[in-house]
Amino acid sequence: MYCILKILNNNALLAKVKEDDSERILLGKGIGFGRKAGDEFTEIPGASVYTPVVREERNSTMNVVNTIDPVYIEAAGKIIEAAEQVFDTIKRDILLPLADHIAFAAKREQEKIFLSNPFVPDIKILFGKEYAVALKSREIIEKMTGYRISDDEAGFIALHIHSGLSDEQVSDTLKTTQIIDDCILMIEECLGDKIRQDSCAYIRLMSHLYYMVVRAKTGEAVNIELNDFIRCKYPKAGQISEVICHYIEKKLEKKLDKEEVGFLAIHIQRIM
């Protein structure tokens, strides 16, 4: 049984589950029309139900929704539904953080403020499907708000979608992407040449670095011992790999498995 806490607009409302006092946001055409705070119901046919997560403990869901125009919450819901058409499942608790980002993106567009996203090339490679959904979301946002966001803003929305597919917060993913970007620059400096970003070897290297960072965070082990082979066959790639591994350890403040050196060196060798 639900009890309505607030009607956000004709298409959105905030309610609590009476059994445990947990909160839900419901979205759907006309679901708020003719209803008022205090009304109770068991379900609303055709409504999408979201369990909101408030990132800062001092805020309640009510406080957060009061600061976001409901149209952006609706737009975030539509984007999540679009993502659900691509991915098997996505956590719906990204609704409010995504809505908040869309609201600020629209405000920046209104004020003609361009927010550069230097990680878009990396996001396209690491989170290609998420970015494709984010590009389509521009049409949703424009249709519902009148503002068309840039490709750079779409890159940030892709990170929110990725957050809904993983246990990573957007800030953590940005940090990981920055580390990977730094690693690529360091490898290029060691090689004295730029790496072709459209090459398969570059894409594999980027993906390997990402999952290498993920393994370091989760403590997952690598069961491939290539270090002796690398020292013998590809010593330069091995030396570069050691530099990169030390850098990642420093940034994450975590120790990498020694096997990571040889595993990474194979990918570095492919671009040499």
pLDDT of 58: 45
CB hemisphere CA count around 21 (13 angstroms): 1
**Comma-separated ranges of CATH 1.10.1790.10 domains in the chain:** 68-166, 183-270
110 Cβ contact list (under 8 Å, min separation 6): 147
Q: Which CATH architecture does the domain made up of 1-52 adopt?
A: Roll (2.30)
Regions of the chain with pLDDT less than 70: 54-59
68-166: CATH class: mainly alpha
The CATH 2.30.24.10 domain(s) of the chain lie at 1-52
Position 59 scores a pLDDT of: 60
User: 3-state DSSP call for residue 88?
Assistant: coil
Q: Does domain 183-270 have CATH number 1.10.1790.10?
A: yes
What is the per-residue pLDDT for 221?
Answer: 86
pTM recorded for the entire structure? 0.89
List of residues 6+ apart from 219 with CB closer than 8 A: none
